[in-house]
Amino acid sequence: MKKSQSIPWYLKQSGKELAEKFQFIQIQEDERLRDATIKTIDSRWSLGVSVLERNDSRNRYVNIMPYERNRVKLDVIKGNDYINASYVKINVPGQSISPGYYIATQGPTKKTWGQFWQMCYHSCSHENIVIVMVTPLKEHGRAKCFPYWPTGEDNENSSDHVRVSPKEQYPGGQSDLSCFEDELEVICEDSRRIEDYYTLTTHKIKPRNPSTGPAKMVHHFYFDQWKDMSKPEEIVPIMKLCEHSHRLNSPGNPIIVHCSAGVGRSGTFITLDHLIHDTADFKLSLGTISTEGSRVPIEHYNHDLIEQIVLQLRSQRLKMVQMIDQYMFIYHAAKYLYDISENSKSE
């Protein structure tokens, strides 16, 4: 893949051009939903069991569901395997150095947090699991996510060091069973604030019975500075979050990403993460994403790389990169990375 000496052409587009592309992405999604409505279970875009009444209590929102073909299925030995989560793979021809693997999911609720931990353990076969949470717990008095992880905090009346995900769970009542092989203990080992950008909490997660499987480490990143239906307020904190979380994940494990619905902010983070770590146009010859280094785009690459990533995301989960401001922010962040490269060359 031959390199040129300028910034990628797609980072020079006008706001009007980007708005037109975002509208095209939305039109394509609308057509998929029409196909799913007309053909129901026979459609490639079927929402399958996610829309069944029995799963209402497992969905945070009534309009955000996973496609049936790539939904995450809970590793149950009996009962309901549904969780509102999607396997996501990004692999852009001519650009992706290696595919990016993620799980995009809604923020756990009071009824589903136990299934969330079971999903994390069983979907990640290697030792280090990364969870990236890009939503505050509450906004304007409304719950956006249940506080599902042990924070390690102590107060006069209680301590929060261990949570247990039960073997038998009934999120929708006694008729809605998910039965797992074993219960899981989630134990807080450390928690610290990183540059006042985000909180990193390290957990050990292990089955109650050691013969069920090995203990694993969970690196939980809580980024609470990103409001719903909006773009991040600053570029640098989200870039540092991308770099730090990506570094701690074991190769072969999907990075688990959630906001509240698991689409807008989650999709924006996933796009940035794959863009800066796994694409030829953003591969650094030196340094890290937040330090000095050289980036040079591929010659004769005629597609819009960011548009290609978002198109792939939208084909795997509804409303990924939901708002036009989020879409444009990705271009601004990408341009910022090239500006850093140019500045480091001139110094």
Name residues whose C-beta falls within 8 Å of residue 211's C-beta, 6 or more positions apart in sequence.
none
Global confidence as pTM: 0.94
Question: What pLDDT score was predicted for residue 285?
Answer: 58
Question: What pLDDT score was predicted for residue 294?
Answer: 78
Asked if residues 239 and 333 have their Cβ atoms less than 8 Å apart, the reply is yes
| Residue 134 CB neighbour total at 10 angstroms | 26
Q: What does the alpha-carbon distance between residue 206 and residue 186 come to, in Å, rounded to a whole number?
A: 7
Give the CA dihedral 246, 249, 255, 259, nearest 10 degrees.
-70
Q: Which two tokens stand for residue 67?
A: 């496609």
Quick one: fold of 9-346? Protein-Tyrosine Phosphatase; Chain A (3.90.190)
Asked if residues 200 and 133 have their Cβ atoms less than 8 Å apart, the reply is no
What are the residue numbers of the active site? 259
Question: What pLDDT score was predicted for residue 6?
Answer: 83
Q: In what order do the strands lie in the sheet with 128-133?
A: 71-73, 82-90, 100-105, 255-258, 128-133, 216-222, 198-207, 184-194, 162-165
Residue type, 282: F
Element (H or E) spanning 334, and its range?
helix 324-346
Report domain extents, the chain. Answer: 9-346
Question: What pLDDT score was predicted for residue 341?
Answer: 72
What residues does 88 pair with on adjacent strands? 102
Q: Which two tokens stand for residue 12?
A: 């020079």
If we measure between CA atoms, which residue out of 326, 337, 308, 320 comes closest to residue 91? 308
Q: What does the alpha-carbon distance between residue 187 and residue 164 come to, in Å, rounded to a whole number?
A: 9
Question: What pLDDT score was predicted for residue 345?
Answer: 53
Residues in the chain where the model's pLDDT stays below 50: 2-4, 286-287, 290-291
Residue type, 271: T
Asked if residues 188 and 151 have their Cβ atoms less than 8 Å apart, the reply is yes
Asked if residues 194 and 290 have their Cβ atoms less than 8 Å apart, the reply is no
Q: What does the alpha-carbon distance between residue 307 and residue 330 come to, in Å, rounded to a whole number?
A: 10
Q: What is the 3-state secondary structure (H, E, C) of 102-146?
A: EEEECCCCCCCHHHHHHHHHHHCCCCEEEEEECCCCEECCEECCC
3 state SS of 50: helix
